[in-house]
Structure 1
Amino acid sequence: MGALTADWFFRARLKLRHLYLFVVIGEQGNLHKSAELMGISQPAASRLLAEIETRLGQSLFERHGRGLTPNPFGQLMIRRARAVLDELGDAGEEFNAISAGLLGVVNIGAVMEPAVTLVPQTIEQVHKDRPGLKITVHVADSRALVNGLMDGHFDFIIARIPAGFPGDAFVFEEIGEEDLCFICSDSHPMGERNPPELTDLADYPWTLQPPGTLMRQRIEDLFRHRGVDFPRWVVDTSDLPASLALVDRSEFITVATHKVAALLCDTARFRILNARNKLSVQPYGLVSLRRQRLSPAVASVMEEIRRRM
């Protein structure tokens, strides 16, 4: 017998029923019983075995009156066949798990408020029900998130659809508004004047989201409508930790949603400055591409979010 090449099984036209026959003979040691288990006749089982032995150019079993005993080559084939069939069995279980949304990867994008409220609550429940799912969460402003959704970086986002994007390209399921407030350090001079006058706040340095973002636009509109000059010194950043570091170390003021601010102010290092009138931005929602085909995993996470909306 010559050496087998790496693709020997292809050349030998090895089939799954050959592998199954190896395993069953290894367990039964008898061709008649093996044929019964496979639901074929004994002559058919005998032909299958002879077929593969001929193609390999090597006998795999010792024939004797009591049945069949695998020789070293047969033992090898039985061991490997069992491993292949076990892998295929596992593949079936994984297939069913993926179909049921129990396995897979889900990439989520979210603006700040749902990223610290709705998304963690959802992930907590998903982890209990479907621990095989891998979830990634990216936090950014709505414009960056919508661009990411259209580019295929996210399966869905929790955000707004800014002007300039084709609204008919998305499915938007409204969740709610974000109510805004100002945040300063616990030692800030304005901390004792709550709610403060906007004219007083304008004299302090601010750190805000970059121009063009919805939250920045809302703050600019607030100053303009009140007839108050916009703060002269503003640090632009969409990174909340960077903003908080400035607020914590100096007299900077920043803006966040009430729910985010409530989490931050539990540390007692920050203080909420309430606006004199309601300050909010347009509603955000669950956003997906209209023509997108969702995987079972993605669909299951979105459904968990809907239950909490």
Structure 2
Amino acid sequence: MTLAHRLKPTHLALMLHIGETGQLQRAAALSAMSQPAASRILSEVEAQAGGPLFDRHPKGMVPTPLGEVLLRHASLILEGFEAMEADLRRAENGEAGHVRVGAVTGPAVGVLMPAVQAVRAAASGIEMTIEVAPSVELMRGLSEGRFDFTIGRLPPGYDGRDYHLHPARREEVALLVRPEHPLAGQRSLPLRALRGADWVMQELGSPIRQAVEAAFMARGLDVPARITNSSSLLVALTLLEATDVIAPQTAEVVQLLSADRIGARLVTLDLTDPIAVSPCFVIRPRHRRLSAAADRLLRAVFEAL
């Protein structure tokens, strides 16, 4: 076996103590071993290194050029071990690590981001990757192991028995328009007043669009026909700024856009009857164990809920 394979952290610590004190007896005491044991280890290390590591003088032991090389690397190696142990303890305690989470837009804004901020304030060593996407893409990523957990809906084709499902907030739909829109400012608008309007709406099959269409159909009205299809919030904001479109978004997204720091010039239509989206869930695989860091964020999500 080579020297690198035979050396142990206790051997390296002993060599460093000899270099620091210049005395084998004191180095042995600092290493919590007897002097004979320390002398035996030193002889074994020198034999493996191919020569003396210390010159013996009446005033103490002085490193040889060979010893200087070993001491320099021993210091770096032990520092690496200490750093590794500290990182392991942080990871074990949920203070470090990498968490990957996916969410649909509303819960990402209203639930996930407050939880992320709370965790980062308490454990800045945790690296987080947050992805916002439709539920179908989130579940695909969850089943492939790309996410620790997601906040969204369980699409058809997935067996709920394979997952832990925790109810999240029920989402309400708000209809965004620019302040100059003809319907802006009117009170208690029935849905029939929105017939013939231009819309920018999520693609067919998306929960928000399904909720809007179901609200029209429940009142015997034709679903909106003049639609620009896009799930991009950036596209919706661009059209809202320049045209009289109506953009359905979750109430949590609307609250974010209405904040002073965003500066979006938008208002919501005051509807007679609210429009609700099908509920979301916090979803994680039943048979996959979360890391301590991911579990810490999950608990913060539950607190935010």
Task: State the TM-score bracket (shorter-chain normalisation).
Answer: over 0.9
3, 7, 14: which one aligns with 1:9? 3
How far residue 179 of structure 1 moved from its aligned partner, in angstroms, is 1.1
Contact 2:213/2:224 (<8 A) preserved: no
**2:3 is matched by which residue type in structure 1?**
F
Counterpart CA distance in 2 for 1:145 and 1:178 is 18
Contact 1:102/1:131 (<8 A) preserved: yes
Contact 2:173/2:276 (<8 A) preserved: yes
- Give the 5 Å matches for 1:276-291: 276-291=272-287
210, 218, 222: which one aligns with 1:225? 218
Match for residue 156 of structure 2? 163
100, 103, 107: which one aligns with 2:96? 103
Match for residue 194 of structure 2? 201
Counterpart CA distance in 2 for 1:8 and 1:258 is 66
52, 63, 69: which one aligns with 1:59? 52
Counterpart CA distance in 1 for 2:236 and 2:118 is 31
Contact 1:179/1:279 (<8 A) preserved: yes
Which ranges of structure 1 fall in alignment gaps of 5 or more residues? 1-6
Match for residue 22 of structure 2? 29
216, 236, 241: which one aligns with 2:234? 241
Contact 1:175/1:283 (<8 A) preserved: yes
Counterpart CA distance in 1 for 2:158 and 2:206 is 14
Between 116-125 and 84-93, report the one with greater CA deviation: 116-125
SS at match of 1:293: coil
How far residue 59 of structure 1 moved from its aligned partner, in angstroms, is 1.2
Contact 2:91/2:292 (<8 A) preserved: yes
Match for residue 216 of structure 1? 209
How far residue 243 of structure 1 moved from its aligned partner, in angstroms, is 1.2
**2:156 is matched by which residue type in structure 1?**
A
Counterpart CA distance in 1 for 2:41 and 2:256 is 69
**1:218 is matched by which residue type in structure 2?**
A
Counterpart CA distance in 2 for 1:26 and 1:91 is 24
Change (3 A) 1:275 1:141: farther
Counterpart CA distance in 2 for 1:265 and 1:299 is 32
**2:266 is matched by which residue type in structure 1?**
F
Contact 1:174/1:285 (<8 A) preserved: yes
TM-score, length basis structure 1? 0.91
How far residue 8 of structure 1 moved from its aligned partner, in angstroms, is 5.2
**1:150 is matched by which residue type in structure 2?**
S
Change (3 A) 1:263 1:47: closer
Counterpart CA distance in 2 for 1:268 and 1:74 is 68
**1:38 is matched by which residue type in structure 2?**
S
Match for residue 80 of structure 1? 73
Contact 1:140/1:238 (<8 A) preserved: no
Contact 2:2/2:48 (<8 A) preserved: no
How far residue 268 of structure 1 moved from its aligned partner, in angstroms, is 5.9
How far residue 71 of structure 1 moved from its aligned partner, in angstroms, is 1.7
Backbone CA RMSD of aligned residues: 1.8
Counterpart CA distance in 2 for 1:159 and 1:193 is 33
Counterpart CA distance in 2 for 1:175 and 1:264 is 22
Paired-residue identity, % = 32
Counterpart CA distance in 2 for 1:63 and 1:268 is 78
SS at match of 1:282: coil
Q: Kindly provide the CA deviation profile for residues 196-253 of structure 1, in whole angstroms up to 9, marking residues without a partner as x.
A: 3323323122111111122111112122222222222211111112112112211111
Contact 1:62/1:68 (<8 A) preserved: yes
SS at match of 2:14: helix
Counterpart CA distance in 2 for 1:238 and 1:148 is 19
47, 66, 71: which one aligns with 2:64? 71
Change (3 A) 1:68 1:283: same
Between 262-271 and 147-156, report the one with greater CA deviation: 262-271
Q: Kindly provide the CA deviation profile for residues 29-58 of structure 1, in whole angstroms up to 9, marking residues without a partner as x.
A: 111222222232222222211112122222
SS at match of 2:145: coil
Change (3 A) 1:274 1:166: farther
Match for residue 3 of structure 1? none
Counterpart CA distance in 2 for 1:32 and 1:257 is 73
Matching of residue 300 in structure 1 with residue 293 in structure 2? no
Contact 2:185/2:270 (<8 A) preserved: no
Matching of residue 180 in structure 1 with residue 176 in structure 2? no
